[in-house]
Chains A and B, each alone.
Chain A
């Protein structure tokens, strides 16, 4: 117990995150063995969806947390400190469309606007504004690859690690938007009032 409450993401970043916490001396055995429990008093760990981590940390319900840069980009208005790029969980935010002739480019040329399905509406909208193109963003909650195959949208903006899912659904990457890795974030008040505890944790992370 180091006096800090730590928000740990379930899902793709979970394994590497508990591995990191183990190596810096936080006992995560109970967390690894129990995937239904959410709050672990002894280690100070709380587990949640990655996209909820900034919410808990911003409000001070957790002092620090680990989540993906993709989540922070999508929730860029959250007032949290982004302290460290942890380096693991590397993924790429991409624009992908069906293989063959690029339907997105064709839609832009002939219709003036391209329909983009995504779980990251704000990242997608920002990317198209910054590149001077008009897009109609369609928000979906899962299996985004389905959208271009069924005509819901011409393209998708999504996170990909290996590109396997894209390939299996006949999609190809047209543009890379950002590289995303796991980040350590901190509550703004805890960063000041628990400075010693947080700095000690940062030193141990630097050392591994």
Chain B
């Protein structure tokens, strides 16, 4: 193995890029600190907790006693641990931010990163809708500070589609196939799996229609049943937002996240200058309970490298 090579999906950062990245993250850090979000750092090496893992860790090793150590795959789970253990006797709400690398496995030849820098914030102990509105406002403030002009934030509800399937009493195994197609973005497969559920015609039509509903606040009007419940939650959040934040939102009833711990509102950050999402987040109201301190929570993470690409593309005037 050549000693002058680095693993695919990792990279060196040289001074010109580093200066730009640092300037951007310093502006974002200023926004977080002013909003009362204190910066924390947690170990890159953690004990493996398979039941909590957002995505299965890609890099494992052993410590001196033979226990499995992993490189962390996100910062949300460690911050939930901090809130539940180090702040066990501090009254909520708790506010934390971080600038830290996370590690994921890559598929070959895809230009994916094994190691990537995330800038994020977590708000613990603030339920929906007020907590969600605070997180969305902080997210937009951070993106403004980074210098992005044309970004938009997709907002959905992770419980919406599983809730619809449960209310229709679809069989559990078949339900997973439907959700898997939705997460893949495979609308052709979704239609096939939904039709295979053997539901009434109006239920089938609803399940096929919902993932296509996305747009301004007008898409939340005139809904019924389980759909209206989810929409009411999104409207309540929307009503708390200042126009500068509210105008950035795209309500997206088909937005689902592959990370297992999301329970309610989910976010995804888009910029027309970049073809892939540059950040994401959502509510994880059950996660802290697994560390013994049940508190609702919400947060987001921005991919700093993608943010930098989007900023550069915006400055060049798009594609």
The interface of chain A, by Cβ under 8 A from chain B, is 58-61, 77, 79-85, 183, 187-193, 195-196, 199
> Are B188's CB and A189's CB within 8 A?
no
- Residue in contact with B188 in the complex, picked from A82, A196, A199, CB distance below 8 Å: A82
What 4 A-B pairs are tightest by C-beta distance, nearest first? Answer: A60-B275, A81-B185, A189-B270, A59-B275
Instruction: Write out the residue numbers on chain A whose beta carbons fall within 8 Å of the beta carbon of B189.
Output: 82
- Residue in contact with A82 in the complex, picked from B186, B250, B268, B271, CB distance below 8 Å: B186
Q: How far is the CB of A185 from chain B (nearest CB, A)?
A: 9
Instruction: Write out the residue numbers on chain B whose beta carbons fall within 8 Å of the beta carbon of A82.
Output: 184-189
Q: How far is the CB of A189 from chain B (nearest CB, A)?
A: 5
Docked Cα-Cα span, A60 to B152, in Å, equals: 16
- Residue in contact with A187 in the complex, picked from B154, B184, B187, B275, CB distance below 8 Å: B275
Q: How far is the CB of A37 from chain B (nearest CB, A)?
A: 19
Instruction: Write out the residue numbers on chain A whose beta carbons fall within 8 Å of the beta carbon of B152.
Output: 192-193
Closest to B191 in A: A85
> Are A193's CB and B270's CB within 8 A?
yes
Closest to A58 in B: B275
- Residue in contact with A192 in the complex, picked from B184, B188, B214, CB distance below 8 Å: B214
Q: Is B276 interfacial (CB 8 A cutoff)?
A: yes
Instruction: Write out the residue numbers on chain A whose beta carbons fall within 8 Å of the beta carbon of B274.
Output: 60, 189
Instruction: Write out the residue numbers on chain B whose beta carbons fall within 8 Å of the beta carbon of A80.
Output: 185
Docked Cα-Cα span, A201 to B162, in Å, equals: 29
Interface string of B192-218 (1 = CB under 8 A from A): 000000000000000000001011000
Q: What are 22 A-B contacts defined by CB distance under 8 Å?
A: A58-B276, A59-B275, A60-B276, A61-B319, A81-B187, A82-B184, A82-B188, A187-B275, A188-B185, A188-B275, A189-B275, A189-B276, A189-B277, A191-B185, A191-B214, A192-B152, A192-B154, A192-B252, A192-B270, A193-B250, A193-B272, A195-B215
Most buried by A among B188, B189, B319: B188
Instruction: Write out the residue numbers on chain B whose beta carbons fall within 8 Å of the beta carbon of A189.
Output: 270-272, 274-277
Q: Is B34 interfacial (CB 8 A cutoff)?
A: no
Docked Cα-Cα span, A80 to B319, in Å, equals: 19
Q: How far is the CB of A130 from chain B (nearest CB, A)?
A: 15
Q: How far is the CB of A44 from chain B (nearest CB, A)?
A: 12
Interface string of B269-300 (1 = CB under 8 A from A): 01110111100000000000000000000000
Q: How far is the CB of A40 from chain B (nearest CB, A)?
A: 16
Q: How far is the CB of A167 from chain B (nearest CB, A)?
A: 31
> Are B185's CB and A77's CB within 8 A?
no
Known A82-B186, A189-B271, A192-B268; 20 more pairs at CB < 8 Å = A58-B275, A59-B276, A61-B319, A77-B110, A81-B187, A82-B184, A85-B188, A187-B275, A188-B185, A188-B275, A188-B277, A189-B274, A189-B276, A189-B277, A190-B275, A192-B252, A192-B270, A193-B272, A195-B214, A195-B250
- Residue in contact with B187 in the complex, picked from A61, A83, A192, CB distance below 8 Å: A83
Closest to B185 in A: A81
Instruction: Write out the residue numbers on chain A whose beta carbons fall within 8 Å of the beta carbon of B214.
Output: 191-192, 195
Closest to B184 in A: A82
Docked Cα-Cα span, A190 to B271, in Å, equals: 9
Instruction: Write out the residue numbers on chain A whose beta carbons fall within 8 Å of the beta carbon of B250.
Output: 192-193, 195
Closest to B319 in A: A61
Closest to B213 in A: A195
> Are B188's CB and A84's CB within 8 A?
yes
Docked Cα-Cα span, A141 to B256, in Å, equals: 38
Closest to A194 in B: B272
Contact A61-B275, Cβ < 8 Å, known A77-B110, A192-B154, A192-B214: yes
Q: How far is the CB of A27 from chain B (nearest CB, A)?
A: 22
Q: How far is the CB of B209 from chain A (nearest CB, A)?
A: 12
Instruction: Write out the residue numbers on chain A whose beta carbons fall within 8 Å of the beta carbon of B277.
Output: 188-189
Instruction: Write out the residue numbers on chain A whose beta carbons fall within 8 Å of the beta carbon of B186.
Output: 81-82
Docked Cα-Cα span, A114 to B107, in Å, equals: 26
Docked Cα-Cα span, A58 to B276, in Å, equals: 8
Instruction: Write out the residue numbers on chain B whose beta carbons fall within 8 Å of the beta carbon of A190.
Output: 275
Interface string of B105-139 (1 = CB under 8 A from A): 00100100000000000000000000000000000
Closest to B107 in A: A77
Docked Cα-Cα span, A5 to B212, in Å, equals: 20
Closest to B269 in A: A189
Docked Cα-Cα span, A84 to B185, in Å, equals: 11
Instruction: Write out the residue numbers on chain A whose beta carbons fall within 8 Å of the beta carbon of B215.
Output: 195-196
Q: How far is the CB of B3 from chain A (nearest CB, A)?
A: 31
Instruction: Write out the residue numbers on chain B whose beta carbons fall within 8 Å of the beta carbon of A58.
Output: 275-276
Closest to A5 in B: B319
Closest to B270 in A: A189
